[in-house]
Amino acid sequence: MVDFSLGEDLEALRASVREFAHDVVAPVIGDYYERHAFPYDLVRQMGKMGLFGLPLPEEYGGMGGDYLALCVALEELARVDSSIAVTLEAGISLGAMPIFRYGTEDQRRHWLPKLTSGEALAAFGLTEPGAGSDAGGTRTRAVLDEETGEWVINGSKAFITNSGTDITALVTVTAVTGTNPDGSKELSAIIVPSGTPGFTVQPGYSKVGWCASDTHELNFDNVRVPAANLLGERGRGYAQFLRILDEGRVAFAALGVGLAQGCVDESLSYAKQRHAFGHPIGDYQAVQFKIADMEARAHTARLAYLDAASRMVNGREFKRQAAIAKLQASDAAVVNAREATQVHGGYGFMNETPVARMWRDAKILEIGEGTSEVQRMIISRSLGL
């Protein structure tokens, strides 16, 4: 028999994060969202709860858990707000995990305790104005100055999460460091600490959603960092970030499921309160069926991410399952957000309601960490097409 129960520890984690999301995040996040302000106080509290160290070993300040624990926490946070959830997701999946997976022991011991405590954030500089899904279009370059033993970096990155906060400690940057024997670009990953001369963080974007998360364009003008800041092997940057994105898609799927389930939560509550023609609107079959379909989408997407996460933590191949989970969860989030807005009627179009935030936040889930088209490409290739 297949058992989808999570066990006592994960259920305890779920309950703890759910309480934090409802009691601490929900009452204040709308104000942060409307002001486009980063919720430093909430991030600090998440750090004290150990959430930023969930899947990382205790020797580096982590909680000694795994990606399934991270996914459970992300789902519960996103049921209330996606900005705070993506801050955690990117802080771990794209910030700390590259250091843990590919860093030297010195790099791990220097950076990870700060990141797992939530005292600092790290970002992952992959996307560029002309290179998103097509990493081969990367133009940022890093040249090794043999005389000084430093990398000299020039270029720019776009749409980078957690890259410009007051507590951002570093950005891991992918850059062209040479040419491969077959003529393709040699890509490597390099750690650039915040405040390095020539490294400029541009003003934050005006975004449709995720308005309480931090997103910036980054510029690198003759930025010099030690050769020892190379992350992993030279020329392996492409393979490294593919693995990081595979893992990140599992976490991203959990975030999408949280948003989809949050739409169910809000719609159920509203359907019981709102009366029309003498009855709660939840008494009408049209509303009942709409909410039933929303629940089915969230449940199905949850099973997909649980499968991908289980495969991952057990050392099994999970690339296709991660793509499926991300595709299903983002679709469920977008459709459920639209339907939840419909259930709420005019109130769903008012920014002070949670479903309005969810509607604005949902679309990026079909774009970030690999578009839906990229997920379909991964799935079809894995089938031999």
If we measure between CA atoms, which residue out of 237, 235, 224, 233 comes closest to residue 151?
224
Run means of pLDDT, 10 residues per run, the chain, 385 residues = 76 97 97 96 97 96 93 98 98 96 97 96 92 80 96 97 97 95 92 98 96 97 98 92 91 98 98 95 96 98 96 94 98 98 95 94 95 96 95
**pLDDT number for residue 3:** 65
The span from the CA of 347 to the CA of 198, in Å, is: 47
Rounded to the nearest angstrom, the gap between the alpha carbon of residue 158 and the centroid of all alpha carbons in its chain is 16
Superfamily of chain region 122-235: Butyryl-CoA Dehydrogenase, subunit A, domain 2 (2.40.110.10)
CATH 1.10.540.10 assigned to domain 8-121? The reply is yes
**pLDDT number for residue 1:** 46
The span from the CA of 171 to the CA of 24, in Å, is: 29
Q: Are 55 and 62 in contact (CB under 8 A)?
A: yes
Amino acid type, 366: E
Q: Are 122 and 169 in contact (CB under 8 A)?
A: yes
Q: Are 106 and 98 in contact (CB under 8 A)?
A: no
| Max intra-chain CA distance, the chain | 81
76 is catalytic: no
Domain boundaries, the chain: 8-121, 122-235, 239-382
From the list 75, 76, 339, 369, the catalytic residue is: 369
Rounded to the nearest angstrom, the gap between the alpha carbon of residue 258 and the centroid of all alpha carbons in its chain is 12
Candidates 2.60.120.560, 1.20.140.10, 1.10.3720.10, 1.10.10.10; correct CATH number of 239-382? 1.20.140.10
**pLDDT number for residue 6:** 84
Q: Are 264 and 343 in contact (CB under 8 A)?
A: no
Q: Are 109 and 60 in contact (CB under 8 A)?
A: yes
**What residues have CB less than 8 Å from 374, skipping those under 6 apart?**
133
**What residues have CB less than 8 Å from 364, skipping those under 6 apart?**
208, 209, 210
Distance (Å) of CA 26 to CA 9, 82, 221, 252:
24, 11, 41, 21
Distance (Å) of CA 113 to CA 13, 34, 37, 54:
21, 32, 26, 12
**What residues have CB less than 8 Å from 293, skipping those under 6 apart?**
339
If we measure between CA atoms, which residue out of 363, 306, 368 comes closest to residue 3?
306
Q: Are 159 and 150 in contact (CB under 8 A)?
A: no
Q: Give the chain's length.
A: 385
If we measure between CA atoms, which residue out of 331, 124, 130, 159 comes closest to residue 242?
124
